[in-house]
Every structure is written in C-alpha cells, then in structure tokens.
Amino acid sequence: MPRPSTTPEDASVRLLKVGERVRHMLAEILTRQQVHDEVLSARTISITEVRMSPDLRLARVYVKPLLGAEEEQVLVAMRQNTAYLQREVATRLGLKFAPRLKFLADESFEEADRIERLLNDPRVARDLAKE
C-alpha cells in the first residue's frame, strides 16, 4: 500500500524540519552501527522519510534496505530495537516530548516501478501518440 499523500496544509515547516532531523539521526546511528543487532549491522539500510504527527509525538519512519533484500527481517530488527532508537533520538533531539517511532516499509519505489510499467505499456504509448 503506498503512503498516503499529504497536502501542504498537513506538513508545516516545523514538522518537516523535525522529521528531517530525526531521519538524519537514525541514519547516523545505523551508519555508525551503534545498534548492536546482527541483522542491522550486516545490511545497509536507508531511512527514506520520517513523517511527524502534528503534535510531534509520533514519527512514522519509512525504511528500505539496500536493493530491498530481506525487508521483513530488517523491519523486525528495527522494531525490536525501537526502545534504544527512541532513547537516542530523544536525547539528541531536545524536544519536550520524545517522539514514538513506528517503523514501516517504504513502498514508494514499488509504486514508482508500477507507474513506470504502466507508462511503458504499448496501449498507453499508442494513446499518447494520438495526441
């Protein structure tokens, strides 16, 4: 299922800034292998996006392992280490309330591939050529 789209009214500048800071923090923690988990240490994982709730108490973290390999194992490992990651983000972020992290698979790449296949369909190309 693709991520729900947001309107400009939904995403204030503060939400975007905090989400981007959380994304950078999580990426840094994973890059430096500060999480002592075999699954996470053995793979390259991208934090593609972090969407904050309007009250900044929930962060939906979209995760994608390199080449999409073993995505379910990576999600399970991320969810098992949520407490550690939340604690690290809370100490580094400095907000009044620490956001609760919810890890989700990033399906935007699959959605982009699906749209690309649709656009490359001969029937669509034929319809576009008529214009």
pLDDT (0 to 100) of residue 114: 79
The residue-averaged pLDDT of 31-58 equals 87
**pLDDT class for 10, splitting at 50, 70, 90?**
low
The residue-averaged pLDDT of 56-81 equals 87
* For the chain, domain boundaries: 13-130
d(CA 63, CA 84): 17
CATH topology for 13-130 is: GMP Synthetase; Chain A, domain 3 (3.30.300)
Residue 58 has pLDDT above 60, yes or no: yes
pLDDT (0 to 100) of residue 7: 58
pTM, 2 dp: 0.75
